Structure 1
């Protein structure tokens, strides 16, 4: 039933992703759910799980098509909760986007006594009135083109929301790459290169020498980092040193819109690049991970952390000393950034420049913070992840309690 407010139970994002991460074959479960769809016995929750399994198996288009069919009929879903009587009820407000487009909040609340219900805000289905019962709500949709409708719909209801509404939509809408640098520009001790939107036509003029790159990209000159607009996880990301490399890049890519920003060599004295993920929860910074590699285009999965005990020891030291090391060294820049972003919870991918400034690559509300890594290989990670999870849960509880106290 369209707009139904009864939550459909599902296996959930965290459990299915952990299965895939651990190398468990999802094909038997996929076939089981397909059989239910075929004979008409699949629930809405199982349909949404099927959509995620398809994406985890690399079938993104199929997964999104299934998701669209499910969300056309049902929008409210309940994730597994460890307590029969939860101490807190959280309502997550999500958009119909691929599996990386909403805050992966299940990881933050997994195995807790907090109940998580997710409401997908989709075209053609109004936000329920009255709303599903909850103690605190949080916007998990991202600042992306696919989420524009959801953010706009939530924004219309935000002023009259009956409970605390965290990560308000107007603040989430400041996080896309071409807006973030304007938001953070001018903070002492913080470097964030301007991210300029350029079209394929403009870049072709640079290739043909009809105009220079600074003329096309608001003063940004080679060497630059380029990526297709809207891309994530390094898709289409490249460093270009001149028009010839730009020409070759455009031959390989078919997108029409791109982001360019100046390249910053953030390598350390040993020639290695170090990239950090920081979580900000209720104004406080927490270490999530540290990736070390001999290349600039680094993210955790390509840094070889599992293969290097030396790298893991350095990451462990980074985590153990974070509060009186990295966080203390960059406390002013982190505090100013947190104030300007204005979100209750978000993540930052960053590094340190050669001059010691905090170099910001990205800040968003959808980067993954998880506890899936092997505790045998990464024994220092579970305590750190649970520190973040506990801080997130405490923030939710505190906001709900503050609201209750004001209403009393």
Structure 2
């Protein structure tokens, strides 16, 4: 069988799943993954399942890579699945085919490591981040080392979709809520509101060297997320027009400075596919929220007045298919 005739292998698993996956068995995809595979055109059921449970090393029978030409790694959250990612990295070392989002690269994509990786890009504001176990002494040391100023956002590792412990006014507020059995991120808060008092968040997905503008949301609260589309954005036609322009025109529709910064981010990130959340500050600089592979692409709201969002899926499918085909990597 030639390499061009070989199948796509989907690698999935999680640190909370044990045991072998059998043919035809419904196995949960696990926590810490993404839905970008739904962008694939054609028959999405034609693949070889590569299931990596947390006890992978003890399994007597392991998946075969003999008929696999490309592996698409769908284990995307390094905080939730570090053991599975380490097993997958070892499992794939002898593999001669393509691996999209190598597990070792995903392991290096925690919030704090990405902040270190992207720090120093001219025109990009990267707020300091501390990662610590929830013990006061460890928290205090990590906060001091990171040089974090308050207020700051406290969240548990592995939490996304706007889930936070709170916006902390000072270190005492942090110490009052942390739990010794939990690991946290503390991120310095940067007030990015516009002159009209609104906040916004842009999400872009990179598939290889192709970029897809997923959305530009607007909110009256700094923690901008999907429900703000119908709560706030719908009342601001000027911001709807900006989102439409970005979605239809892509990165090329953004200010030249933003394009330059995003190109540098793409060049530095070792992932083949990932999403980035950011805003453009009033002074033109970009404010980084996060960049990783565990972001969700769906659902897409294309009802009026957001009909232009239907283009997002077509653009995402073209970019995703090109990445699978090896174009633009």
Identify which of 119, 124, 143 aligns with 1:190.
124
Report the Cα offset of residue 176 of structure 1. Answer: 0.8
- What secondary structure is seen at the aligned counterpart in 2 of 1:299? coil
Find out whether 1:392 has 2:325 as its counterpart.
Answer: no
What count of residue pairs does the alignment treat as equivalent?
312
Higher helix share: 1
Identify if the C-alpha distance between structure 1 residues 298 and 158 changes in structure 2 by more than 3 Å, giving closer, same or farther: same
- What secondary structure is seen at the aligned counterpart in 2 of 1:103? coil
Identify which of 177, 198, 202 aligns with 1:276.
202
In the TM superposition, 1:8-407 aligns within 5 A as 68=17, 72-74=19-21, 97-98=30-31, 101-109=32-40, 112-113=42-43, 115-122=46-53, 123=55, 124-125=58-59, 128=62, 130-131=64-65, 133-202=67-136, 215=144, 218-243=146-171, 245-246=173-174, 249-250=177-178, 256-303=182-229, 304=231, 307-308=234-235, 310=237, 311-326=239-254, 328-370=256-298, 372-398=300-326
- What secondary structure is seen at the aligned counterpart in 1 of 2:59? coil
Contact 1:137–1:164, Cα closer than 8 Å, also in 2: yes
What whole-Å deviation, never above 9, does each CA across 1:43-68 have from its counterpart, x for those lacking one?
A: xxxxx9xxxxxxxxxxxxxxx9xx94
Report the Cα offset of residue 270 of structure 1. Answer: 1.4
**Relative contact order higher in (CA < 8 Å, ≥ 6 apart):** 2
Give me the whole-angstrom Cα distance separating, in 1, the residues matched to 2:322 and 2:165. 37
What whole-Å deviation, never above 9, does each CA across 1:165-193 have from its counterpart, x for those lacking one?
A: 11111111111112111111111121211
Identify if the C-alpha distance between structure 1 residues 290 and 205 changes in structure 2 by more than 3 Å, giving closer, same or farther: closer
Name stretches of at least 5 consecutive residues in structure 2 with no aligned partner: 1-12
- Asked which structure has the greater CA Rg, the reply is 1
Give me the whole-angstrom Cα distance separating, in 2, the residues matched to 1:188 and 1:326. 17
Identify if the C-alpha distance between structure 1 residues 273 and 205 changes in structure 2 by more than 3 Å, giving closer, same or farther: closer
Contact 2:152–2:187, Cα closer than 8 Å, also in 1: yes
Give me the whole-angstrom Cα distance separating, in 2, the residues matched to 1:277 and 1:78. 35
- What secondary structure is seen at the aligned counterpart in 2 of 1:332? helix
Report the Cα offset of residue 382 of structure 1. Answer: 1.3
- What secondary structure is seen at the aligned counterpart in 1 of 2:81? helix
Give me the whole-angstrom Cα distance separating, in 1, the residues matched to 2:63 and 2:131. 39
TM-score (norm 2): 0.81
What whole-Å deviation, never above 9, does each CA across 1:83-121 have from its counterpart, x for those lacking one?
A: xxxxxxxxxxx99632xx112133212x52453444221
Contact 1:279–1:287, Cα closer than 8 Å, also in 2: yes
TM-score (norm 1): 0.66
Q: What's the RMSD between the two structures over aligned residues?
A: 3.5
Give me the whole-angstrom Cα distance separating, in 2, the residues matched to 1:194 and 1:141. 26
